[in-house]
């Protein structure tokens, strides 16, 4: 499975794939044309014979030279034709075309992108009629009615009836404006009626059954169009849990007000490394309860490039453990691609790990390898605790995930913040900076305030590196830490 959509880095490959596929198709068409030319030549020689057909066939064929020519020609005509039909050039180019086709995205990828679109829409409250928000980002893109219809149907199948209705309405509008499409207006109206009925948006004169010929009852049609016009763009039909509410609020830029006393604690300062006092770090207190620290200019541009280059060939869809089956599965709750970079894989990895030890003063022998992640369109990670791992095979050996160091390796134009819904903290990705927090309290219990999430990326490519530091080995180190954690 390619799963292009889960990583922006992989999505960019599609642009090359498009070029390669076009090149192969061109080659194949040329080979076919060559073949057609050869077939035409064969046909020509046969037709030429009709034109100078003998007046007296019997006399003609009694000429041994003529007989020889005709018999020879006809005995070979099928072989020649077949040779052209199975032209070797053709077979080669067709093989190339076939193998390039293997790299094309599939229907799953389309669904993935649509799901991402719907997720973004849900998170950032985007009205399909206001889709220009997407188009402003690049090249004045517009969708055709078949495309908006597709989005509507996927929204419907993923139980987002409200969005399904809005996209279907957009489809109808486009058809009304005379845009060309495969989907018919009747189909669209039928779906619209069904969605509206299910949402109880409109008063039904009767069940939303089409009248003769699949047409919608005119009264129903009218009431449908009227209600859509006045229909408010709200989330009232989609219930949210508390966490989601705050998660969404934080992702969309809403902030809880802090008391001035607390705000005064959010300072920026130069700090000696807790593990290496010879090193100075630009430390910013991003949050006080729980303490979240940010280190600016933690990675250099060169280090970021090297790390991305190392990770690229290893990226694969990040997985979560399925609660029921206990198996690792892909899930909409975590849309990104990730890769592990090992300690001695490259001097830059060693160097970055050393810097993490220098700044935190924590033992890294028991830590996990550096995990690199690249998020795709709408890429996100729903609220979770880093310390709550199902099937943690390392627990016995290393202890729990005492601390997280999250390094941002890109800026994100819109979206993609790391948010802590229970306390109201929101960290904007800033290229080269690293954030640090403790997942476990000093008594070893989980700090439930560290519930956090990665907001869907709206515009941009988000790259992060995660270092999860484990409990074993910190017995004498965390005490020395000045990080005030209960």
Ligand X SMILES: O=C(O)CCC(=O)C(=O)O
* Contacts to ligand X by CB under 6 A: 381, 386, 406, 418, 452, 454, 464, 466
What is the nearest approach in angstroms of Fe ion to the Cβ of residue 391?
Answer: 17
Nearest CB to Fe ion, comparing residues 76 and 328: 328
Q: Which is nearer to ligand X, 450 or 471 (CB)?
A: 450
Token pair for residue 205?
Answer: 């004169």
In the complex, the smallest distance separating the C-beta of residue 386 from ligand X, rounded to whole angstroms, is: 5
What is the number of other CB atoms lying within 10 angstroms of the CB of residue 72?
10
Shorter beta-carbon distance to Fe ion: residue 166 or 315: 315
Residue 30 to residue 190: CA distance in whole angstroms:
45
- Using CB under 5 A, which of the segments 43-51, 164-172, 292-300, 378-386 binds Fe ion? 378-386
Per partner kind, with CB cut-offs from 5 to 8 A, the member of ligand X, Fe ion, none near residue 360 is none
Binding-site partner at residue 418 among ligand X, Fe ion, none, CB < 5 to 8 Å by type: ligand X
Give the nearer residue to ligand X in terms of CB position, either 363 or 386.
386
CB of residue 413 to Fe ion, shortest distance in Å:
22
- In angstroms, give the least distance from the CB of 241 to Fe ion: 19
Q: Which residue is nearest to Fe ion (CB)?
A: 386
Q: Which of ligand X, Fe ion, none does residue 348 bind (CB under 5 to 8 Å by kind)?
A: none
How many CB atoms are closer than 10 A to CB 396? 8
Q: In angstroms, rounded to a whole number, what is the distance separating the alpha carbons of residues 413 and 457? A: 9
Q: Which member of 3, 386, 407, 436 binds Fe ion (CB under 5 A)? A: 386
Instruction: Specify the residue, 3 or 386, whose C-beta has the smaller distance to Fe ion.
Output: 386
Give the single-character DSSP code of 24.
H
CB of 31 to Fe ion, least distance (A): 52
* Residue 192 binding target from ligand X, Fe ion, none, CB below 5 to 8 Å by type: none
Query: In whole angstroms, what is the distance from residue 185 CA to residue 343 CA?
Result: 59
> d(Cα 382, Cα 362) in Å, to the nearest integer?
28
Write the DSSP assignment of 35-82 as a string of letters. HHHHHHHHHHHHHHHHHT--SSHHHHHTSHHHHHHHHHHHHHHHHHHH
Which H or E run includes 357? helix 347-360
Contact of residue 341 among Fe ion, ligand X, none (CB under 5-8 Å per partner type):
none
Closest CB to Fe ion among 122 and 386? 386
* Residue 335 binds which of Fe ion, ligand X, none (CB < 5-8 A, kind-dependent): none
Rounded Cα distance, 486 and 481, in Å: 12
| Cβ count within 10 A of residue 147 | 17
Q: Report what 168 binds from Fe ion, ligand X, none; CB cut-off 5-8 Å by kind.
A: none
Phi/psi for 157 (5° steps) reads -70, -20
* Helix boundaries (H) for 264-329: 301-311
Least Cβ distance, residue 483 to ligand X (angstroms):
19
Residue closer to ligand X, measured from CB, 152 or 377: 377
* Rounded Cα gap, residues 481 and 289, in angstroms: 16
Q: Give the burial class of 302: count Cβ atoms within 10 A of its Cβ; 0-12 exposed, 13-18 middle, 19 or more buried.
A: exposed
Could you tell me how many residues of this chain bind Fe ion (CB under 5 A)? 1
DSSP code at position 316: E
C-beta of 228 vs 291, nearer to Fe ion:
291
Choose from ligand X, Fe ion, none: what does 454 bind? Cβ within 5-8 Å by kind: ligand X
Residue 466: contacted member of ligand X, Fe ion, none (CB under 5 to 8 Å, by partner type): ligand X
Helix (H) or strand (E) holding 284: strand 280-287
Work out how close the CB of 260 gets to Fe ion at its nearest, in angstroms, rounded to a whole number. 30
> Which one of ligand X, Fe ion, none interacts with residue 481, CB within 5 to 8 A by kind?
none
Q: Pick what 7 binds: Fe ion, ligand X, none; C-beta below 5 to 8 Å, kind-dependent.
A: none
Q: Any contact of residue 447 with Fe ion (CB under 5 A)?
A: no
Shortest spacing between CB 338 and ligand X, in angstroms: 8
Cis amide linkage into residue 441, ω under 30° from 0? no
| Residue number, 148 or 418, with CB nearest to ligand X | 418
Q: Give min distance, CB of 112 to ligand X, in A.
A: 19
| Residues 406, 435 contacting (CB under 8 angstroms) | yes
Helix axes 145-157, 107-124, angle to 10 degrees: 80
**Of 217 and 334, which has the nearer Cβ to ligand X?**
334
Distance, in Å, from the CA atom of 410 to the CA atom of 311, rounded to the nearest integer, reads 14
How far is Cα 382 from Cα 104, in angstroms, rounded to an integer? 29
What number of residues does the chain have? 486
Comparing CB distances to ligand X, the nearer of 24 and 335 is: 335
CA 99 to CA 101: how far, in whole Å?
A: 5
In the block, residue with structure tokens 């597709």? 150
Question: What is the C-alpha to C-alpha distance for residues 329 and 390, in angstroms, rounded to an integer?
Answer: 13
Least distance CB 381 / ligand X (angstroms): 5
Smallest gap, in angstroms, from Cβ of residue 375 to ligand X?
7
Site for Fe ion, rule CB under 5 A: 386
């Amino acid at each position: 499975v390619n799963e292009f959509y889960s990583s922006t880095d992989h999505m960019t490959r599609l642009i090359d794939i498009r070029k390669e596929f076009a090149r192969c198709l061109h080659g194949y068409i040329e080979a076919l044309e060559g073949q057609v030319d050869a077939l035409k030549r064969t046909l020509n020689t046969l037709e030429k014979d009709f034109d100078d057909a003998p007046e007296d066939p019997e006399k003609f064929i009694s000429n041994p030279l003529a007989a020889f020519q005709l018999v020879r020609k006809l005995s070979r005509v099928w072989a020649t034709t077949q040779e052209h039909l199975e032209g070797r050039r053709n077979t080669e180019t067709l093989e190339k075309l076939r193998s390039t086709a293997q790299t094309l995205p599939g229907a799953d990828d389309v669904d993935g992108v649509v799901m991402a679109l719907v997720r973004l829409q849900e998170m950032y409250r985007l009205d399909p009629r206001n889709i220009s928000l997407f188009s402003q980002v690049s090249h004045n893109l517009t969708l055709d009615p078949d495309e908006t219809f597709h989005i509507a149907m996927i929204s419907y199948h993923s139980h987002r009836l409200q969005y399904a209705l809005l996209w279907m309405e957009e489809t109808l509008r486009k058809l009304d404006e005379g845009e060309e499409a495969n989907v018919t207006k009747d189909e669209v109206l039928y779906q619209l009626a069904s969605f509206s009925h299910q949402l109880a948006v409109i008063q039904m004169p009767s069940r939303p059954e089409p009248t003769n010929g699949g047409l919608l009852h005119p009264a129903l049609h009218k009431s449908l169009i009227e209600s859509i016009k006045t229909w408010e763009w709200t989330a009232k039909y989609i219930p949210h849990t508390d966490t989601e509410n705050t998660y969404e609020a934080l992702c969309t830029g809403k902030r809880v007000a802090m008391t001035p006393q607390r705000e005064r604690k959010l300072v920026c300062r130069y700090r000696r490394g807790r593990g290496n006092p010879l090193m100075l770090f630009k430390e910013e207190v991003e949050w006080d309860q729980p303490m979240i620290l940010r280190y600016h200019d933690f990675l250099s541009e060169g280090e970021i490039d090297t790390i991305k280059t190392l990770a690229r060939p290893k990226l694969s869809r990040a997985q979560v453990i399925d609660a029921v089956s206990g198996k690792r599965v892909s899930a909409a709750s975590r849309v990104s691609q990730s890769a592990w970079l090992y300690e001695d894989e490259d001097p830059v990895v060693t160097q970055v790990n050393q810097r993490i030890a220098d700044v935190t003063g924590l033992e890294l022998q028991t830590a996990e390898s550096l995990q690199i992640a690249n998020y795709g369109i709408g890429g996100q990670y729903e609220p979770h605790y880093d310390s709550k791992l199902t099937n943690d095979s390392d627990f016995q050996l290393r202890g729990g995930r005492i601390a997280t160091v999250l390094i941002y390796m890109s800026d994100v134009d819109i979206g993609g913040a790391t948010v802590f819904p229970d306390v109201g903290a929101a960290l904007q990705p800033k290229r080269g900076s690293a954030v640090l927090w403790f997942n476990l309290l000093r008594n070893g219990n989980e700090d439930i305030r560290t519930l956090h999430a990665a907001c869907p990326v709206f515009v941009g490519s988000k790259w992060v590196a995660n270092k999860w530091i484990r409990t074993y080995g910190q017995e004498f180190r965390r005490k020395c830490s000045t990080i005030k954690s209960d």
